[in-house]
Amino acid sequence: MDRNTAEREGASNGGMLYHEVQESKLCAVHCVNTVLQGPFFSEFDLAALASDLDRTERQMMLGSVTGDYFPEVSHNVSLDGDFSIQVLQKALEVWNLQVIPLNQPRG
């Protein structure tokens, strides 16, 4: 979902803190939506981002000489719904938000 669509369809929660009940292994979906305070991303949206990242990684790695890359395996989403941190980063970029590691020195 793009930012403009999300803003138009954004849920008004009357000043209450938005929270999603944990479903399956979709922690990333719930995490992103909690940060954004609304149901802006589904597992299908994050799966599409994961697929885009996989495609980009595949293109980069096919030129690699190491031979230890397995293009049929996604490293951005598991079969049971776990998403990589890179997928979360891509989702939050739509909103001009960054994921910054806790151990990163302040700049």
Residue 7 domain-assigned (yes or no):
no
Residue 12 inside a domain? The answer is no
Within a domain: 87: yes
Residue 48 lies in a domain: yes
Percent of the chain at pLDDT exceeding 90: 48
Give me the pLDDT at residue 23, please: 78
Domain count of the fold of the chain: 1
Please check whether residue 99 lies inside any domain of the structure: no
* Average confidence (pLDDT) over 54-61: 85
pLDDT given at position 71: 63
pLDDT digits (tens, 9 = 90+) for 62-84: 776 666 656 667 789 988 889 99
Domain of 44 in residue numbering reads as 26-61+76-94
**Does 57 fall in a domain?**
yes
72 vs 32, residue with greater confidence: 32
- Give the 3-state secondary structure percentages of the chain, helix then strand then coil, rounded to 5: 40, 0, 55
User: What pLDDT does residue 13 have?
Assistant: 58
